[in-house]
Amino acid sequence: MHMADLPAFENKMSDAEGLMWRMEKDPHLSSTFANVTILDKRPDMDRFLRVMDRATMVVPRLRQRVQSAPANLTAPTWVDDSNFDIHYHVRHLALPKPGTLRQLLDLASLITADPFDRTRPLWQFVVVEGLRGGKCALIEKLHHTITDGEGGVQLSLEFLDFAADAPERPPVDPDTIAAAQERAAPSGSDTLRDLLAGSLRMPLGLLRQVRDLIADPTQLPGAGNAAADTVRGIISQLSDVEQAHSPLWTQRSLKRRIEVLRAPYAETRAAATKLGGKLNTAFLTAAAEAASRYHTAMGEPTDTLRASMAISTRSESSGANAFSLVRMVVPTGPMSVADRFRQINEASQAARDGTPPASLETLAAVAASLPTSLVTRLARTQAHTVDFATSNVRGAPVPLYLAGAKVLENYPVGPLGGVAFNLTLLSYLGSLDMGLNIDTAAVADPELLHRCLIGAFKDLLAV
């Protein structure tokens, strides 16, 4: 993998990344995500440490900590951590006997929920031995300001191989690293312009117009197209304060439980095609079907729930994070899987074709001038409009290896951000590997929800 294939890691956070960083003043809005990778055996730890140390040189972000701007006048920057220690970020432990998957997932839940030390680089990898059958695992934990799920997949190719006996990567050329760091480093004029404009992502003149229109929306009819369209998107986003629909999932907490499940890629895609849609719709349909079954089993059936889906906007020029969130109402009343699929397909299309919500960057550029306490309050209000979240990440269709150990299963764990559960899918080697991150104050019986998901995918495949 060449450095050009990696996301563009700049030394300054984008506005959206800065917003995610600020929102974590409220721990319910943490943007940490993780991956639980099952390996066929223990990897060569000495080799893995060498590989990861090299990866931190290829990707300087992994050796950098966050430095906030004075009074939040601009987005934070990334600076080199003079105390960087690879052994702090790559850890090694073992499960007690009997070494069950449940023990591993409980450990992963604790590690993922544990806040990062904000004075250090925002990532941690934990190799876990002691799984039944001689297996091993890797728990990968990253902060969303480093990259998003798709960027994380690209990043993983710096430490994963395509063969068990793959030769170690050559030492990194210091000149190549220095050139990359120099390209990313902001100049003094960049910093000054940033402080004056409040954001490089939105021109100063447009930013002023947007703020004036938000203060007095009656000016909208006579405003310029760019400013008016931006404000309409922001109003569309923030005016959606309809409460989440679940009569059961009303509480929120910091208590977490992780469950995992798998579905065959080819068969699920074929079922989606037969029903007249794509894999994304099949994934969301199964989640809605499971939520419907859960509510019915708990004696509180509901006709609709509100869901969100992360949509990748990544291109060749994208930075570390490139995604948007689409919210929609999904049917959860009694109906066939085919009817639910059709209705969700229509709802998804309507959500995409309707008034486009303001991008995360646009919202963040406007939010930069607001107090952090107000930003977190607005974000929590928006989180309360969604019952559950979903995300679909494309992974590798070929076998992968970690320091000589084969990757058997690869489960992503998405952030909750104030919703009842997050179901994230990562395709790997003909399988759809799914991580279910649950707030147990909302979902009182997480094992029931897990069984409902397994049953929903089974019935979806039966079509």
Q: 3-class DSSP state for residue 391?
A: strand
* CATH number of domain containing 362: 3.30.559.30
User: CB-based contacts of 39: which residues, under 8 Å, 6+ apart?
Assistant: 135, 136, 137, 138, 402, 405, 406, 407, 408
pLDDT of residue 313: 56
Contact 141, 123 (CB under 8 A): yes
What is the pTM (predicted TM-score) of this model? 0.83
Q: Which helix (H) or strand (E) holds 136?
A: strand 136-142
Query: Is there a domain that residue 180 lies in?
Result: yes
At residue 127, φ and ψ (nearest 5 deg) are -85, 125
pLDDT of residue 394: 84
Query: Is there a domain that residue 10 lies in?
Result: yes
pLDDT of residue 185: 53
Q: Which helix (H) or strand (E) holds 450?
A: helix 446-461
| Cα distances (Å, whole numbers) of residue 427 to 265, 318, 363, 410, 434 | 7, 22, 31, 8, 8
Residues 217 and 263 in one domain: no
pLDDT of residue 238: 52
Please provide the size of the chain in residues: 463
Q: How many domains is the chain built from?
A: 3
Residues 135 and 212 in one domain: no
Residues 332 and 270 in one domain: yes
pLDDT of residue 3: 46
Residues 325 and 442 in one domain: yes
Q: Which helix (H) or strand (E) holds 437?
A: strand 431-439
What domain range includes position 174?
A: 3-190
Residues 53 and 159 in one domain: yes
Identify which of 32, 65, 58 has the alpha carbon closest to the alpha carbon of residue 154.
Answer: 58
Query: Is there a domain that residue 267 lies in?
Result: yes
Query: Is there a domain that residue 59 lies in?
Result: yes
Query: Is there a domain that residue 249 lies in?
Result: no
Contact 139, 128 (CB under 8 A): yes
The mean pLDDT values, 10 residues at a time, for the chain of 463 residues are 57 79 83 95 97 92 88 79 96 97 98 94 97 98 83 84 93 70 50 40 49 49 49 50 89 96 97 95 97 98 92 56 74 96 91 59 60 68 86 90 97 94 95 98 98 98 92
Residues 319 and 384 in one domain: yes
Q: DSSP of 252-280, one letter per residue?
A: --S-EEEEEEEEEHHHHHHHHHHTTS-HH
pLDDT of residue 396: 86
* CATH number of domain containing 74: 3.30.559.10
d(CA 426, CA 33): 13
Residues 28 and 123 in one domain: yes
Residues 107 and 182 in one domain: yes
Contact 66, 76 (CB under 8 A): yes
pLDDT of residue 326: 81
Residues 283 and 365 in one domain: yes
Q: Supply 339's token pair.
A: 């009817």
